[in-house]
Amino acid sequence: MVRHVVLCQLKPGTDEHALDDLMRQTHSRLLRIHECLTVQCGKRIEPDNAWAFFFTVDYETRAKLRLAQKKPAYAKFLAEVITPRVAAQMAMLYELDPDKNVKYS
Confirm whether 102 is domain-assigned.
no
The per-residue pLDDT for 10 is 96
Confirm whether 23 is domain-assigned.
yes
Confirm whether 29 is domain-assigned.
yes
What predicted TM-score, i.e. pTM, was given to this entire model? 0.91
Confirm whether 59 is domain-assigned.
yes
Distance CA 49, CA 28 (A): 25
Confirm whether 12 is domain-assigned.
yes
The per-residue pLDDT for 65 is 97
The per-residue pLDDT for 101 is 77
Distance CA 89, CA 87 (A): 7
- Contact (CB, 8 A) for 105 and 61: yes
Question: For the chain, what is the domain count?
Answer: 1
Instruction: For the chain, list residues with pLDDT below 50.
Output: none
The per-residue pLDDT for 105 is 64
Return the CATH number at 11: 3.30.70.100
Distance CA 83, CA 77 (A): 9
